[in-house]
């Protein structure tokens, strides 16, 4: 068949393969919407109006212009708009966009492709396919478009493959056969003890070790000020020097260049996250060399940085909002040009952490999946291919390369695993029976930090007779306890890692017992107890389940193909409210727990709580709180400046709106939305709230700082 490839400026656009090939040979696979947007603009030859662009790219016109502008903004960066005054996409005010660049069409006859580039099997995913794959060049194709040198570059793996076959046959012919029983399999290393490398009070978080293992750079959070600073330590002499810092800023995610003469790090303020670079000579910083490299949007703990092997590029992750997944970017220190290397789906937090292989050719990427599990991927930087290494039912912070074919990562029970990519085998290499995170390898030495950077306590927010609220400890332990829901007779059900993996526990008086785990699913969230049905309800992998406490029976109440978030229970214990994803638009539904009838509400909504005959709800990526009257069907806005999208951060109780924001709880009157009590200050950050008449108040999950130290495993 005949397909068209477009050449413009310093790039070639292949719509079929969803890729852009740059002049230097780099290849970038485009997300589907950006690809469709670019193709629509190029092929229109005139102004493309908003509705037409929405219809062709999103398949609907029920979106606002801001949806388009965000994609256009990303597209402009990819195709080089603004560089050296280049303008390729013109904005037509109040109408749409027009592509004004000079485009030349290259007609190419495509042969059958034996490789299914659209395979859904993640272990053979190609984010960046080799440009212009399996083609016969038309005689009219100019020599300067595709040279024999590029052809060899793109197909060199075929030459290497056939060369390997020839060599293998030659060995066989001369009788050099090696039986499997004679093959030597190297014994993996094992680490049983450790040495503490840092001794400050507080939290040692993300860190890096120089290539020769002589220098340590790390982020340290002070217990009192909560400020994060960066320190460099000479591991031979023990001397320490702090990187110069500014008040009201947090420095984190530091990484050395290969020669340990430069450090890249992230600078966080209330306004922005920025990528910075500074030169260093031993323990001496050069303040005049410090400069801002780029923006990192919404950073935070677990986000990593890295230099390329030649130190000419910097890799970092960026996300501009909580609803946008992290992507990994590659920044050219010479030209300032940067581009996205990954395009994760919106079903999780994205690609927040990564590690560069010793030979500098591959990135090991941690991709958050469904917000509570992760996959480890390996991306080849040169050809863009990406392969699944393993999928894990818990969150990871860091993966490290032990060699060019071996990865180290943390297990669920704090062990460290060594994964051989070539043999697809995994073995335990360290188990010191203490929490360890964030492995880093330098000069065949293994570093990590131990301890809990954060622990979660369950607190109780109780309303007094004079409508004042007090805060007291509910469940306080050295474990991660969270999502408490009240039962009858003073029983509290909650989630905990007391048995090494997340399970449902029950607190009755001073006794804590684990609920039967024979049938309970993993990755539970939004747990609720219904007195009426004597059962626990919750979400697991975006499906609703019911667990009968008395008979210990598990029942699924939703299909596995239904994308559900933000579960909440009505005040009468007989209905569940939740949001459902339909073509990237969210709608509120409810299920009657007596007859399992489902009600679909006639409005867009992302989270909801019901009180009496009113359903209070938020909208996806839009500030505000609305109220839907079940009797009249009317909708009114209750509060405009309301930013708690998830149902885990707000609740309705006794005609009051309880809103949490980081380390603050605010209580509003629903009759006039005035603040009843402004300042209930918390020593930590709220991650979940659940209110109930059973306890005359609310349970709060509060993240508090733990204690960590960087160690070297021996």
The Cα 340–Cα 318 span in angstroms is 9
Express as a percent the part of the chain with pLDDT over 90: 41
Closest CA to 654 of 692, 695, 614: 692
pLDDT tops 80 at residue 628: yes
Residue 306: per-residue pLDDT: 96
- DSSP state, residue 98: E
Residue 548: per-residue pLDDT: 92
Domains 185-443 and 455-706 share a fold: yes
Instruction: Kindly report which listed range (5-9, 38-42, 161-165, 188-192) carries the lowest average pLDDT score.
Output: 161-165
**CA-based end-to-end distance of the chain:** 61
Closest CA to 527 of 562, 557, 478, 493: 493
What's the sign of the alpha-carbon dihedral 212, 216, 217, 219? Answer: positive
User: The CATH number of 185-443 is which of 3.40.50.300, 3.30.70.20, 2.120.10.30, 3.40.50.720?
Assistant: 2.120.10.30
pLDDT tops 70 at residue 173: no
Query: pLDDT tens digit string along 496-523?
Result: 877 767 789 999 988 888 887 667 887 7
Query: Which residues lie below 8 Å from residue 653, measured CB to CB, with a gap of 6+?
Result: 463, 691, 692, 693, 697, 698
Which residue is listed with tokens 């984190």? 252
pLDDT tops 60 at residue 561: yes
Residue 476: per-residue pLDDT: 80
Residue 55: per-residue pLDDT: 81
Closest CA to 389 of 372, 411, 367, 370: 367
Residue 484: per-residue pLDDT: 95
Are 601 and 625 in contact, with CB atoms under 8 Å apart?
no
- How confident is the model over 260-277, as a mean pLDDT? 91
Residue 542: per-residue pLDDT: 86
Express as a percent the part of the chain with pLDDT over 70: 84
All structural domains of the chain with their residue ranges:
2-156, 185-443, 455-706
pLDDT tops 70 at residue 178: no
CATH class of 2-156: mainly alpha
Query: pLDDT tens digit string along 74-100?
Result: 888 888 876 667 788 988 887 889 998
Closest CA to 601 of 620, 612, 613, 615: 615
Which of the pair, 561 or 357, is modelled with greater confidence?
Answer: 357
Residue 137: per-residue pLDDT: 28
Instruction: Kindly report which listed range (2-6, 519-523, 644-648) carries the lowest average pLDDT score.
Output: 2-6
pLDDT tops 80 at residue 304: yes
CATH architecture for residues 455-706: 6 Propeller (2.120)
Which of the pair, 24 or 660, is modelled with greater confidence?
Answer: 660
Residue 328: per-residue pLDDT: 94
Which of the pair, 380 or 152, is modelled with greater confidence?
Answer: 380
Taken as a whole, the chain contains a residue count of 714
- How confident is the model over 228-239, as a mean pLDDT? 94
């Amino acid at each position: 068949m005949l397909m068209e490839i477009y050449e413009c400026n310093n790039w070639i656009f292949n719509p079929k393969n969803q890729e852009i090939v740059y002049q230097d040979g780099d290849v970038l696979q485009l997300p589907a919407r950006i690809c469709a947007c670019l193709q629509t603009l190029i092929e229109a030859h005139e102004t493309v109006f908003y509705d037409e662009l929405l219809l062709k790219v999103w398949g609907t016109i029920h979106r606002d212009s801001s949806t388009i502008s965000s994609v256009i903004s990303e597209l402009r960066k990819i195709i080089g708009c603004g560089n050296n005054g280049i303008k390729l996409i013109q904005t037509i005010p109040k109408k749409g966009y027009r592509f004004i660049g000079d485009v030349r069409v290259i007609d190419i006859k495509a042969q059958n492709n034996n490789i299914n580039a659209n395979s859904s099997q993640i272990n053979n995913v190609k984010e960046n396919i080799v440009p212009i794959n399996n083609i016969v060049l038309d005689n009219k194709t100019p020599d300067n478009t595709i040279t024999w040198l590029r052809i060899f570059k793109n197909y060199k793996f075929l030459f290497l493959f056939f060369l390997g076959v020839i060599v293998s046959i030659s060995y066989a012919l001369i009788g050099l056969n090696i039986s499997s029983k004679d093959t030597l399999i190297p014994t993996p290393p094992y680490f049983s003890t450790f040495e503490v490398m840092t001794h400050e009070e507080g939290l040692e978080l993300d860190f890096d070790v120089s290539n020769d293992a002589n220098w340590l750079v790390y982020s340290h959070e002070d217990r009192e000020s909560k400020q994060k600073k960066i320190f460099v330590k000479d591991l031979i002499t023990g001397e320490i020097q702090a990187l110069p810092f500014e008040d009201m800023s947090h420095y984190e995610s530091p990484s050395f260049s290969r020669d340990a003469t430069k450090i890249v790090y992230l600078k966080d303020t209330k306004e922005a996250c920025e990528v910075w670079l500074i030169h260093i000579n031993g323990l001496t910083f050069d303040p005049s060399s410090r400069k801002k490299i780029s923006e990192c949007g919404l950073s935070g703990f677990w986000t990593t940085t890295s230099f390329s092997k030649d130190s000419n590029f910097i890799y970092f992750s960026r996300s501009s909002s909580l609803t946008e997944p992290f992507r990994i970017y590659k920044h050219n220190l010479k030209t300032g040009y940067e581009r996205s290397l990954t395009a994760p789906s919106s079903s999780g937090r994205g690609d927040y952490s990564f590690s560069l292989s010793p030979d500098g050719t591959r990135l090991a990427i941690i991709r958050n999946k469904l917000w509570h599990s992760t996959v480890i991927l390996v991306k080849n930087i040169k050809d863009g291919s990406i392969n699944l290494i393993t999928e894990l039912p818990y969150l990871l912070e860091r993966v490290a390369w032990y060699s060019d074919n071996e990865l180290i990562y943390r297990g669920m029970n704090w062990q460290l695993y060594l994964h051989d990519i070539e043999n697809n085998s995994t073995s335990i290499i360290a188990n010191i029976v203490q929490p360890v995170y964030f492995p880093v390898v330098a000069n065949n030495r293994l570093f990590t930090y131990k301890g809990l950077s954060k622990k979660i306590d369950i607190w109780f927010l109780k309303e007094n007779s004079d409508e004042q609220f007090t805060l007291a400890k509910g469940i306080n332990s050295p474990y991660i306890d969270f999502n408490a829901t009240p039962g009858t007779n003073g029983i509290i059900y909650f989630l905990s890692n007391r048995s090494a993996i997340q399970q449902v526990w029950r607190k009755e008086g001073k006794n804590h017992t684990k609920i039967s785990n024979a049938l309970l699913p993993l990755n539970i969230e939004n747990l609720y107890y219904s007195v009426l049905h004597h059962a626990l309800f919750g979400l697991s992998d975006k499906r609703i389940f019911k667990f009968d406490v008395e008979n210990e029976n598990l029942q699924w109440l939703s299909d596995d193909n239904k994308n559900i978030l933000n579960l909440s229970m009505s005040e009468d214990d007989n209905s569940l409210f939740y949001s459902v994803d339909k073509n990237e638009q969210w709608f509120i539904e409810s299920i009657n727990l007596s007859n399992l009838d489902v009600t679909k509400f006639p409005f867009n909504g992302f989270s909801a709580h019901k009180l009496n005959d009113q359903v209070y709800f938020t909208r996806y990526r839009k500030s505000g709180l609305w109220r839907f009257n079940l009797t009249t069907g009317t909708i009114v806005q209750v509060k405009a400046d309301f930013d708690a999208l998830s149902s885990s951060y707000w609740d309705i109780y006794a005609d009051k709106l309880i809103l949490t924001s980081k380390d603050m709880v605010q209580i509003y009157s629903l009759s006039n939305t005035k603040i009843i009590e402004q300042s209930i200050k918390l020593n930590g950050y709220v991650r979940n709230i659940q209110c109930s008449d059973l306890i005359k108040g609310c349970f709060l999950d509060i993240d508090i700082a733990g204690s960590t130290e960087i160690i070297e495993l021996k």
